[in-house]
Chain A
Amino acid sequence: MESKSFDQIRFCAFCPNVCRFNYPTSGVPQKESLALSALAYAAYAVINEFIVYTKDVENLLSDLEGARSSREACPYNYDIPALLDKLREEYTAK
């Protein structure tokens, strides 16, 4: 993953989730793990090898409906769901 993409994922992982208000309107179950910042943290943890890329992690990073609904509310205009898609494809292929 290129440095700029990693920086954005790391930023999102520690962002207080200001995009969250769009997430409840999407109708997906409001599990914390599906909020954009939590997904970004999972990706950050995989990249830093804090966690192993398991089927559980792959499933999480495939469940991006809520994240996509939040994307337009990102005040920094980052497309984190696209980065998560890319990361998942990369790690699944390994």
Chain B
Amino acid sequence: MAMKTHKISDLQTTPREVAGLDWYRPLTEIVGSENVLTAFTDLLAYGRDRWPYGNLRYRFGEIPGTLPTVAVMPGSYEEVSEVLKLMSAHRQPVIPYGAGSGVLGGAVPQACEVTMDLKRLNKVVEVDEISGLATVQGGMNGELFEAYLNKSRLTLGHFPQSLNISTVGGWLACRSAGQASSYYGKIEDMVRGIKVILADGRMVEVHPAPRRATGPSVMDFFVGSEGTLGVIVEGTFRVLPYPEKETLVSVGFEDYLTGLEALRLIMQTGLHPAITRLYDEHESAKRIADYPEYAKKPCLCMLSFMGMKELVDLEERMAIEICEKLGGQVGSIEPMLKWIQHRYESLSAKPVSEGRMMDTIEMAASWRNLPEIYEGAREAVMKLNPEAHFGCHWSHVYSDGGCMYMTFIIPAADKEKAASDHRAIWNAVQQLCLKEGGTISHHHGVGLFRSKWLMKELGLGHDLLQAFKNVIDPNHIMNPTKLGLR
């Protein structure tokens, strides 16, 4: 996939005549001219999300694609519908935009699209405490939604690292997972109803129900669609009482393989830890440096349990028994408390601002295949760039496998070499993952950057997605090129 770049300086000085576009005036009539942004400085902000490759380009004064033609901020579902009808009629592509926290370029314009910022749709519509359901508009900030629920002693239980910097609609669009997912489930387990506006302006509504057997799940077409099939304007979620108790456990293991075995047994025993994070030696090192009890058990595993006190106590005891039988040693919970203190902060700003490039690759595979993928990925990264840092942790575990979350940092003084190494590392790790039967993404999604590997993973399934898109978006205006779709 060719990745075109443009110099920011050239874009600032290039005259842009948006007022002369056929759709411009009707657009301002739909949402009000104050909600159509055309200033260069506004568009510059919508030219990126948190995609590390994109930020590498921005650091050197380049755009990893184009700027949007305009950004539009609709304030109602009707306005979203009217804007999409207008854009369809003029075959003008549109990118739905939440808070721009995606890391695969899913919101980055490639052909002067119109960016549709949904943050004016930021209201809680209804909370039904009897049924335990909360309905919220797609543009609401994640942290504020959770805080709203907490006032009623409720929680969604969805705590992605991006909690503060993402929207509820964005969670649905990228099939998000939170840090306590082994207990609360992922976003697809939480959503009960959805409203999506299609390219032709019609609204698809799946009304909330605890479960349904009404043919294939229509909702699942849109959860994870990354803006390619429609605009998610509302979701209804099951919410739960705030847990009575939460307990934290830190365990040191001799090596990561023993730690993985403990997690496998914990999950296959039927326990439901909320947080499960096992770090390899490289990621553990800094976290345990001040705690000598981990010296001979250098792979840190952090667990939490939450819910009713009696159940929490029982699950904690049983999990510790499993760990200890494998030689695990319970240690200070200080490393975990430090992690909790910073759990919503990204570690990327420091290396990026210092001239290095940091990226993460998360994927999922069965217990049997995880070690081989880890060893192969580490070897591939270090071979491609011996100066690289490579570390890994495993989180979001299941009875049959888990998510492997790899972090690499490479020097980036030479931007073209950094870009080339970055691409080569991704290619090696994603190919390895596919070869070993894993899936290329557990929760970051696909965006722009992962498209080619997605096609390999889905095969004919990708053709089916395209065929479906062709029917509901015949003019191909919904976030084209993302997920590898037209």
Interface residues of A (CB under 8 A from B): 7, 10-21, 24-25, 29-33, 35, 38, 41-42, 45, 48-52, 54, 56-57, 59-60, 73, 75
Contacts and interface: CB of A to CB of B under 8 A. Distances in A.
A25 B100 CA distance: 18
16 contacts: A16-B348, A18-B164, A18-B165, A19-B164, A20-B141, A20-B164, A21-B143, A21-B163, A21-B165, A29-B34, A30-B73, A30-B120, A32-B97, A33-B45, A41-B45, A60-B39
Contacts of B23: none
B444 to A, nearest CB: 13
B144 A24 contact: yes
Q: Could you say which of B61, B164, B346 has the most chain A C-beta atoms within 10 Å of its C-beta?
A: B164
Given A38-B44, A51-B12, 8 more contacts: A14-B58, A15-B349, A17-B164, A24-B122, A31-B45, A33-B45, A42-B44, A59-B41
Contacts of B55: 14
B456 interface: no
A18 B61 contact: no
Contacts of A42: 41, 44-45
B350 interface: yes
B71 interface: yes
B119 interface: yes
A69 to B, nearest CB: 13
What 8 A-B pairs come out closest when comparing CB atoms?
A: A50-B61, A21-B143, A32-B45, A33-B45, A38-B45, A15-B349, A30-B119, A21-B164
Contacts of B305: none
B117 interface: yes
Contacts of A30: 73, 117, 119-120, 122
Nearest to A20: B165
Nearest to A58: B41
Interface of B: 7-9, 12-13, 34, 37, 39-42, 44-46, 50, 55, 58-59, 61, 71, 73, 97, 99-101, 117, 119-120, 122, 141-144, 162-165, 342, 344-346, 348-350, 352-353
Contact of B353 (A7, A19, A50, A75): A7
B44 A41 contact: yes
B141 A21 contact: yes
Q: Could you say which of A19, A33, A60 has the most chain B C-beta atoms within 10 Å of its C-beta?
A: A33
B165 to A, nearest CB: 5
Contacts of A73: 164
A31 B42 contact: yes
B44 A33 contact: yes
Contacts of A32: 42, 45-46, 71, 97, 100, 117
A45 B12 CA distance: 11
A82 to B, nearest CB: 19
A21 B58 contact: no
Contact of B348 (A12, A14, A54, A56): A14
A42 B46 CA distance: 12
Contacts of A13: 58, 353
A16 B71 CA distance: 20
Contact of A16 (B12, B42, B349): B349
A57 B163 CA distance: 30
B353 A60 contact: no
A48 B8 CA distance: 11
B10 to A, nearest CB: 10
Nearest to A73: B164
Contacts of A17: 99, 101, 164-165
Nearest to B163: A21
A10 B97 CA distance: 24
Nearest to B37: A31
A27 to B, nearest CB: 11
Q: Could you say which of B9, B73, B100, B349 has the most chain A C-beta atoms within 10 Å of its C-beta?
A: B349
Nearest to B48: A41
A9 to B, nearest CB: 9
A60 B43 CA distance: 12
A56 B59 CA distance: 21
Nearest to B58: A41
A50 B7 CA distance: 8
Contacts of A16: 50, 101, 162, 165, 346, 348-349
B45 A35 contact: yes
Contacts of B122: 24, 30
